[in-house]
Copies of this chain bind each other. A is one copy, B any other.
Amino acid sequence: MTDWQEIEGGITAPKGFKAVGITAGLKPSKAPDLALIWSETEAIASGVFTTSQVRAACVDYCRQNLQKKASARAILCNAGQANAATGEQGWQDALTCAQVLGEKLNISPDSILLASTGVIGQRIKMDAMIGAIPQLVDQLSEDGGASAAQAIITTDLVTKSIALETTIDGRPVRIGGIAKGSGMIHPNMATMLSFVTCDAAVSTQLWQQMLKRAADKSFNQITVDGDTSTNDSLIALANGQSRTPAITTMDKNGQKLEAMLTAVCQHLAKAIARDGEGATCLIEVQVQGAIDDSSANKIAKTIVGSSLVKSAIFGRDPNWGRIAAAAGRAGVQFNQDDLMIKLGDFLLMERGQPLDFDRQAASNYLKQASQGAYLKEDTVLISVSVGSGSGSGIAWGCDLSYDYVKINAEYTT
């Protein structure tokens, strides 16, 4: 089901949303560092957050708020300080941010969600934050999606934004999304933030289920270096301003909406994997024939997360041995005599046995991918089958280059 089209506008493409990104002076640089996303009406809100035991204040704040009431009017996101490992004072700062913004927007702080990205162990620069909030609100705009996308990035090489449109009962329905993340490369910079806006009318419970499933097929299936951050957050708002009939079950319309939500999340997740520091290509691993989807996803993620597979692809080496070894250690049962491995169109292994193949041509296939970095053509496709089961899964990652070690070895806190 891909009966949607890409449109302009990112998170402000859906009806009834405004956004803005400004320079509040939180980052050492003069780059934009404060973003606001606003819905003209109370929107259904759902979130997926880091599972780390070491969490930022904003993550605990959002969890509490969404448990109280699964709706919101605004998302405030700062870059520069992660406000993680900042203890009770960091928690108070989060409350203050919501308080001050709520007064300026003339809404309850309960209707505000928070996100932070930046240096772990540093509190938000509260003077700059509070001083910037009036200007932030005044500059909210229906064309502000791009500036918000700019203001949430940290080490990202590119901004990440998308908007898709479909029709439900003849009327347009839109989902927009922005994200930041380039692998947890600068170790004290939070990894992954994503904000999604939607103008469909959908029930709270269904929206939460859709977002969880979409995250499992996208953000939860990417790996750059395996390190999960203290601030990871995915927040999705649906405000119903498309004036389409409310979606309350997984009927035709429900499936259409979830498919489009999943496509938005996958686009952003792939953009993050592609932006891994030092990466020259995107790696997509497709696994089939597993007993169930979660087993297939586990194998796919283990392969794409293998340092050996990642560095082989950086070296343009069609190395089936590393792929087979990674599949074998994924913690999923399969019969090694069923193992099939393809790299692009090259069949490297079948029924558990290595095959003769044109090594030079396969290496050229890998070379071409790197030359297309940041284009659709930059994707290296690894296809694996582990049996005759119906389970399938996909995972995305990037190759491991000298620059990864260089940046991480030479970065100093």
Contacts and interface: CB of A to CB of B under 8 A. Distances in A.
Contacts of A324: 54, 85, 120, 230
Query: Secondary structure at chain A's binding surface: helix, strand, loop or mixed?
Result: loop
Nearest to A185: B308
Most chain B CB within 10 A, of A120, A321, A322, is at: A321
Contact of A317 (B55, B308, B311, B413): B413
B52 A325 contact: yes
Given A121-B354, A187-B325, A188-B321, A227 B307 contact: yes
A321 B121 contact: yes
A51 interface: yes
A284 to B, nearest CB: 20
A327 B359 CA distance: 41
A53 interface: yes
Interface string A77-88: 000000001110
Interface residues of A, number: 65
Given A54-B336, A227-B326, A321 B408 contact: no
B187 A354 contact: no
Interface stretch (A102-110, A160-168, A213-221, A399-407): A399-407
Interface string A292-322: 0000000000000011100110110111111
Contacts of A327: 53-54
Contact of A322 (B187, B315, B359, B410): B187
B228 A329 contact: yes
B85 A329 contact: no
B411 A400 contact: no
Contact of A405 (B317, B339, B401): B401
Interface in A96-153: 119-121
Interface string A330-374: 101111110100000000010111100001000000000000000
A33 interface: no
Given A187-B312, A230-B328, A333-B53, A321 B405 contact: no
A2 interface: no
Contacts of A245: none
Contacts of A121: 320-321, 353-354
A125 to B, nearest CB: 17
B325 A227 contact: yes
A85 B336 contact: yes
A67 interface: no
Contacts of A353: 85-87, 121
B408 A325 contact: no
A54 B351 CA distance: 12
Contact of A308 (B87, B352, B408): B408
A87 B410 CA distance: 46
A231 to B, nearest CB: 10
Given A227-B325, A328-B54, A402 B406 contact: yes
Give 4 nearest A-B pairs by CB, closest first. Answer: A54-B328, A315-B409, A311-B408, A52-B328
Interface of A: 51-55, 85-87, 119-121, 184, 187-188, 225-230, 306-308, 311-312, 314-315, 317-322, 324-330, 332-337, 339, 349, 351-354, 359, 400-402, 404-406, 408-413
Given A54-B352, A121-B353, A227-B322, 20 more contacts: A52-B328, A52-B329, A53-B330, A53-B332, A85-B349, A87-B351, A87-B352, A227-B308, A228-B325, A229-B325, A307-B408, A312-B409, A315-B408, A317-B409, A321-B413, A400-B408, A401-B409, A402-B402, A402-B405, A402-B406
